[in-house]
Amino acid sequence: MRFINYLFFKYYNWAIKVGNGDMPTFASASCIALFIMLYLADILMVFFFFISPQTPLFFGKYFLGIFGIIMMIVIYVMFAVKGRDKRIMETHKEEWTGKKNLGAILFPLIAFIWFVIVLFLKAMINSGKI
């Protein structure tokens, strides 16, 4: 939970800096939900591409979209209810303000790199090069 609070803090500040100061809670919750969905897609791709390629899809084609919307709502409510977003910003301002952006940068970067590597490996397997 502490890492999600850290991500929320960093994305909240980022949303304010890029000019989205009217809805930074929504913007930061959207970023967190998007990256969690990307990690879920990565895990599902590895499972269906390499571990068990013959397994039939046990959920519909809209699963990731519905899961993403639910995840977005849950994360937004988790931070927006009873001013929790303001409390996080106040309590961790001294601790997380400054040059500690590595976690907020690596969290989406690792998911994206993992996604590209899995797609590249699957393309190589399908073309017969591996």
Structural domain for 120, as ranges: 2-127
| Model pLDDT for residues 78-114, shown as the tens digit of each residue | 888 888 888 888 888 877 777 678 888 899 999 999 9
What is the rounded distance in angstroms from the CA atom of residue 69 to the CA atom of residue 34? Answer: 10
Q: How many domains in the chain?
A: 1
Task: Choose between 48 and 115: higher pLDDT.
Answer: 115
Q: Where are the alpha helices (DSSP H) in the chain?
A: 2-17, 24-46, 63-80, 84-91, 93-96, 102-127
Do 37 and 64 contact (CB within 8 A), yes or no?
Answer: yes
